[in-house]
């Protein structure tokens, strides 16, 4: 057995909130065989199995009575390329932002708008990560996942993944599929997406009239760095709430009473409201209760100022949810997974 299983391990280094809870058992998987050994170990010892990646989409509210396995598989491969496109495969444990930068350094475009998102490649399809007008589904080709019930491998196409807004089949069947590696259809010719948020404005301010994908990445990194705290310095999980989807009629009604409401029409006729705007208007921006708080610059981000527990952060999140329902009649959904 190559899998090294340890007892009673602090998960503080393995979650971006920096919450100090303990795992009954802990191991890191560096290969498919390690993953299979973890499945067998959990079955043989009758313990639950929790798979984590970079820990950037977790809120741990108590000690974990399970075998926690961190996906640490590494590897990036170009499977096929021609003069215009490249099919690139990355192992689930690859850190996301360095993967994006590696692609850009090779002259391969398509991921630039997803720069500086925390987490790992394997976690990216689970919630169909997105930023500045691009989502994983826009560059996704396929992935390989292991069936936790049988240990068999299965290939998932774009259609199989059933991607939605911060959603996929893997979120609805989270206990079954373990993503091992992901393939992306990227391009050697840039098709830049510049019209979402302040991206074009930032490029104009820098005097860049004909931006490259690397220019776009740098601009987005600068924008994100100004808005979002570095988890290495201030514990957080990025945007804590999803932007809520409501009917067009509901959005129009809210616009009457709140003329500055920020909303975006969707292809299906609904409207996406800016959760950050709702939270800020409700007065939560910069709020702090002990070491649990809302970031002073970005109301979508809950932060751990040092010693907040997962329960402290969850209590704050639920208070915000209740207040938004009371003030706007809109329900906010949390993005991180709760354990």
Residues with catalytic roles: 166, 239, 335
Q: What is the DSSP letter of 229?
A: -
Quote the tokens at residue 307.
């010693």
Instruction: Please give the Cα distance from 324 to 130 (Å, whole number).
Output: 24
Identify the CA nearest to 110 among candidates 135, 83, 80: 135
Helix (H) or strand (E) holding 325: helix 310-328
Identify the CA nearest to 123 among candidates 49, 173, 184, 51: 51
Q: What angle do CA 317, 320, 325 make, to 5 degrees?
A: 130
Q: How many alpha carbons fall within 13 Å on the CB side of residue 170?
A: 28
Local structure of 124: helix, strand or coil: coil
């Amino acid at each position: 057995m190559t899998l090294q299983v340890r007892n009673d391990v602090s998960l503080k280094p393995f979650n971006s909130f920096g919450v100090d809870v303990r795992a009954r058992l802990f191991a890191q998987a560096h290969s498919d065989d390690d993953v299979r050994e973890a499945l067998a170990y959990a079955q043989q010892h009758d313990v639950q199995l929790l798979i984590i990646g970079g820990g950037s989409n977790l809120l741990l509210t108590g000690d974990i009575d399970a075998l926690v396995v961190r996906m640490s598989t590494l590897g990036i491969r170009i499977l096929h390329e021609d003069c215009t496109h490249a099919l690139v495969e990355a192992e689930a444990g690859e850190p996301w932002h360095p993967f994006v930068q590696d692609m850009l350094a090779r002259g391969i475009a398509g991921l630039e708008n997803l720069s500086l998102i925390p987490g790992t490649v394997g976690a990216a399809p689970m919630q169909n990560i997105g930023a500045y007008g691009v989502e994983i589904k826009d560059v996704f080709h396929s992935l390989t996942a292991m069936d936790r019930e049988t240990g068999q491998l299965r290939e998932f196409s774009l259609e199989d993944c059933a991607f939605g807004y911060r959603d996929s089949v893997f979120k609805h069947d989270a206990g079954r599929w373990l993503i091992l590696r992901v393939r992306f259809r990227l391009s050697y010719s840039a098709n830049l997406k510049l019209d979402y948020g302040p991206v074009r404005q930032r490029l104009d301010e820098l005097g860049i009239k004909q931006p490259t994908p690397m220019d776009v990445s740098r601009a987005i990194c600068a924008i994100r760095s100004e808005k979002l705290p570095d988890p290495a310095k201030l514990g957080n999980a990025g945007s804590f709430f999803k932007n809520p989807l409501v009917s067009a009629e509901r959005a129009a009604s809210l616009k009457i009473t709140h003329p500055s409401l920020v909303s975006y029409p969707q292809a299906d006729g609904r409207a996406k409201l800016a959760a950050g705007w709702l939270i800020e208007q409700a007065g939560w921006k910069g709020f702090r209760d002990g070491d649990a708080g809302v970031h002073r610059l970005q109301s979508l981000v809950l932060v751990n100022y040092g010693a907040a527990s997962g329960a402290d952060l969850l209590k704050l999140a639920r208070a915000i949810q209740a207040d938004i329902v009371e003030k706007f009649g809109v329900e906010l959904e949390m993005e991180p997974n709760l354990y």
